[in-house]
Copies of this chain bind each other. A is one copy, B any other.
Amino acid sequence: MSPSSMLAIAGAVAIVAGLCWACAPPQAPSAASPIYGVTLPKGYRDWTLVAPAQEAPPLDELRAVVGNRKALDAYRAGTRPFPDGTVLVKLAWKHTPSPDFPPASIPGAATTVQVMVKDSRRYASTGGWGFGRFVDGKPVDKAQHETCFACHAGRVADRDYIFTRYAP
């Protein structure tokens, strides 16, 4: 190989490395949740915000729900039930005082990432939704996953089992 083609290859590698370095952090495929087989969706940390929320102590968290394109289109158009392929991800962090600005509190350590996937056939017995709850990228146990649908069904069955409203 000529020095000039080696240089060209090295340049191309540097460009690709630069591009990847600028992308979202790499994300290995996650293990699937018990019961539902839901995994952490690829690239979710780049998705659009649906709304933030705060959860009081003892959990004491700041949270944000993000959604894929189908989710956002359905939220904005008022489409209910959400179409198959809708995916919502709730990120959560400990709620921590800001060291820079006393009236504010900000995200501390990340706690859980929770996923809801709409597939009206696969999840027909749970309102069309599959659930996944992850800590450090790993799904929590079956017992925790057994509580998901009952809570959503008991409180927001009339909104296609979704708590979070779009914050304009």
A: residues with CB less than 8 A from B are: 21-25, 45-49, 51-56, 59, 62-64, 66, 72-73, 76-77, 91, 93, 95, 98, 100-101, 103-107, 110, 155-156, 163-165, 167-168
Query: Given A73-B22, A100-B156: A107 and B167 within 8 A (CB)?
Result: yes
Query: A103, B52: Cβ atoms under 8 Å?
Result: no
Query: A105, B25: Cβ atoms under 8 Å?
Result: no
Query: A64, B93: Cβ atoms under 8 Å?
Result: no
Inter-chain contacts of A98 with B (CB < 8 A): 53, 163
- Bound-state Cα–Cα, A76 to B110, Å: 16
- Taking a contact as CB atoms closer than 8 A, the residue among B48, B59, B163 that contacts A100 in the complex is B163
Inter-chain contacts of A47 with B (CB < 8 A): 48
Given A52-B64, A106-B167, A110-B167, 19 more A-B residue pairs with CB atoms under 8 Å apart are A24-B72, A45-B49, A45-B168, A49-B49, A49-B66, A52-B52, A52-B62, A53-B62, A53-B104, A54-B104, A54-B105, A56-B103, A56-B104, A91-B167, A93-B167, A100-B155, A101-B155, A101-B163, A107-B167
- Bound-state Cα–Cα, A148 to B164, Å: 32
- Taking a contact as CB atoms closer than 8 A, the residue among B22, B48, B105 that contacts A46 in the complex is B48
- Bound-state Cα–Cα, A73 to B76, Å: 27
- Bound-state Cα–Cα, A63 to B95, Å: 13
Tell me the smallest distance from the CB of A146 to a CB of chain B, in Å. 19
Inter-chain contacts of A25 with B (CB < 8 A): 76, 168
- Bound-state Cα–Cα, A23 to B75, Å: 11
